[in-house]
């Protein structure tokens, strides 16, 4: 079932976003909105794909950009932690074979 995702640029350049998915309605992370911000259009079924670029042009300098930078930083940290964890697990496995 498709969800309606809206982006509205306010007169003070802040950006309001809405999505009708249950996750978003509960005020939680909604990948539908993130996908549009990141320019991922594969799952969009509406006829306004060209508006994704417009929304993306609103992001630089916005609070959303600041938050997205932090999301990326933490994603990178998690990826590094997972790599480190895998290496330590391998090390533990090798130690068990001694
Ligand atoms: Zn959503």
Residues 46, 2 within the same domain: yes
Residues 42, 73 within the same domain: no
Residues 93, 49 within the same domain: no
- Cα(52)–Cα(35) distance, integer angstroms: 10
Residues 30, 69 within the same domain: no
- How many angstroms does the Cα of residue 77 sit away from the middle of ligand 1? 25
Q: What is the pLDDT along the chain (98 residues), one digit of tens a residue?
A: 899 999 999 999 899 999 999 999 999 999 999 999 999 999 999 999 999 999 999 999 999 999 999 999 999 999 999 999 999 999 999 999 98
- Per the structure block, which two tokens stand in for 51? 């508006």
Domains contained in the chain, number: 2
Return the pLDDT at 1: 86
- How many angstroms does the Cα of residue 25 sit away from the middle of ligand 1? 8
Return the pLDDT at 18: 95
Residues 14, 4 within the same domain: yes
- How many angstroms does the Cα of residue 18 sit away from the middle of ligand 1? 8
- Cα(55)–Cα(68) distance, integer angstroms: 14
Q: Are 86 and 37 in contact (CB under 8 A)?
A: no
- How many angstroms does the Cα of residue 61 sit away from the middle of ligand 1? 23
Return the pLDDT at 13: 87
Residues 40, 1 within the same domain: yes
Domain hosting residue 40, numbered range: 1-59
Helix/strand/coil (H/E/C) assignment for every residue in 42-64 = CCCCCCCCCHHHHHHHHCCCCHH
């Amino acid at each position: 079932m498709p969800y309606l995702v809206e982006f509205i640029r306010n007169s003070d350049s802040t950006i309001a976003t809405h999505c009708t998915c249950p996750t978003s309605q509960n005020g939680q992370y909604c990948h539908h909105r993130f996908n549009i911000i990141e320019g991922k259009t594969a799952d969009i079924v509406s006829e306004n794909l060209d508006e994704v670029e417009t929304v993306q042009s609103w992001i630089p300098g916005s609070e959303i950009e600041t938050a997205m930078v932090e999301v990326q930083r933490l994603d990178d940290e998690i990826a590094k932690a997972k790599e480190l964890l895998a290496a330590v697990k391998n090390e533990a496995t090798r130690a068990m074979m001694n």
